[in-house]
Chains A and B, each alone.
Chain A
């Protein structure tokens, strides 16, 4: 399969996924529209994580830190009188950009387990701040957002309170972010990123600044995580310390493994599998985690490419 056809087919599949997703609320009940909104937001979170994991070979266990920074900064700015959603979300992204630059500067010096542990540690420092700075963050209760202000879009005023409106709003933002991620991966910078995953010493010898490349990827991933956090806080009408905890950082990791880290849409597919399964399982039993774990174990052992990755490689193998 040539690279150009793969680029083309990826672009076409992306556009058709967008089209299908845009039609979904017409056929789905409100409840499933809300689940789909969550899938979109967490799918973006997982894809931003995979820019580090799948494309740069860096396993971050602290992405919830940036997700939480985005969620808290957006919520706090709305609560302190910012009227525009766009501005509040920009503040959220700026907060995670600053956080990711500072933390990334220190973390990208290490690899593998040490990188994972460092990001875990920094993520939990942000958690501690969210949990203990009661005056600003509401402590362990978090902050509730009673009213999400309407968005202004070319003179139109649209309320985000109806679930369908929130769904379309999330869809547009997530699609734009995913397009940016796709362009980043397709760019020369994206190729250097993958080269740093394959062999960072060799990349260094040919004159590339591996640390800067990794730092840039770390910041992009952090900002995207912050954006999904901002959306998540608008969707849930709150920002809570649990958004920042390490167990929340584990979610994009699980979704990426479920879907497949080698495929661009793999993490988002993993997010979809995660939430649909959660709905199916929790309608039968409360013990959803045991089922998730029982599914993940064989996925990790037998299909290292993930579910979407394995399906895709069946098709491409047949063609070859």
Chain B
């Protein structure tokens, strides 16, 4: 029972981080039609830049707010200069272009901050532990469990009820029609890519006190968030939520019931879903 609750919380906290990252990936795919290979690198950049801000202005919260905004600006620059020329190309070229961006970002981070690992301390209020049965559990992970649904709910509200959210959904449904009725689609695309980048970077900033920061932290995340959006259904919001939670639980409980093949579970899940329901659990036909 004890270990069950601990695993449950571990799974949820990682699942919520994964949800933030994947929802950015799936939004970008849903609107722009580009599966962004560099998404994991933007996640990593979020962790590094928020760490940088945290050291400049010695405040965790300043880093959490400003770091992802800086990364979002970088993301919008990437969209304007590199993605725009390839929107009408084959999917594989878009994948390759974003892969090239991944190479540049990963190595740039290694060049600036070095290949070593960095540690970020959680702020005072979230730093401690609280008693859970006979164990103690870090407060910060509970904070992660809570913040996921808050941001998810905010996004849902944004897409459902605000003017910008409606414009984005219109452009995702039919780009030409949206342009025809006077929506400035290129500007909207830049904004959406910025939003997706911001979500990835926010995930990175939130992950910073949770795990150590290193230049390869994006590599694991990009594959896991690919799996999340594919099993949830590319472009699907609830799909990303369910997919992320499932993957978080596989991570937390996998070692208990699967032992050494735990590492393969996400890939097995990916293959099974793609073969049975190629459009994912929540994907449209």
Interface residue ranges, A against B (CB under 8 Å): 53, 59, 106, 109-110, 112-114, 116-118, 120-122, 124-125, 128-129, 131-132, 246-247, 250, 253-254, 257, 287-290, 292-294, 296-297, 300-301, 304
Chain A residues closer than 8 Å to B96, beta-carbon distance: 253-254, 257, 296, 300
Tell me the complex Cα distance, A292–B104, Å.
8
A125 near B267: Cβ-Cβ < 8 Å: yes
Residues of chain B having any CB pair with chain A under 8 Å: 35, 82, 85-86, 89, 91-93, 95-97, 99-104, 106-108, 110-111, 219, 223, 226-227, 230, 234, 260-261, 263-264, 267-268, 270-271, 274-275, 278
State A257–B90 Cα separation when bound (angstroms): 13
Please report the C-alpha to C-alpha distance between residue A294 and residue B263 in the assembled complex, in whole angstroms: 33
Roughly how many angstroms separate A303 CA and B93 CA in the complex, as a whole number?
11
Q: Is the CB of B91 within 8 A of A113?
A: yes
Instruction: Check B111–A290 contact: CB distance below 8 A.
Output: yes
B278 near A300: Cβ-Cβ < 8 Å: no
Q: List, in ascending order, chain A residues with CB within 8 A of B275's CB.
A: 106, 109, 118
**A-B contact list, 12 entries, CB within 8 Å:** A59-B95, A106-B275, A110-B278, A117-B230, A118-B275, A121-B271, A250-B99, A287-B107, A290-B104, A292-B103, A293-B100, A300-B86
Interface contacts (Cβ under 8 Å), in number, total 107
CB pair B104–A122 under 8 Å, yes or no, is no
Chain B residues whose C-beta falls within 8 Å of the C-beta of A117 in the assembled complex: 226, 230, 270, 274
Query: Distance (Å) between the CB of A274 and the closest chain B CB?
Result: 12
A118–B91 Cα gap in the complex (Å)? 15
| A interface SS class | helix
Give the docked Cα–Cα distance between A128 and B99 (Å): 23
User: Out of A121, A254, A287, which one reaches B111, CB within 8 Å?
Assistant: A287
A254 CA to B270 CA, complexed, in Å: 24
A245 closest partner in B (C-beta):
B219
In the complex, what distance in Å separates the CA atom of A114 from the CA atom of B95?
13
Q: Is there an interface contact between A289 and B107, defined as CB atoms closer than 8 Å?
A: yes
Instruction: Find chain B residues with CB under 8 A from A300 CB.
Output: 86, 93, 96-97, 100
The 8 closest A-B pairs by CB, nearest first: A293-B103, A290-B107, A293-B104, A296-B100, A128-B264, A289-B107, A121-B270, A121-B267
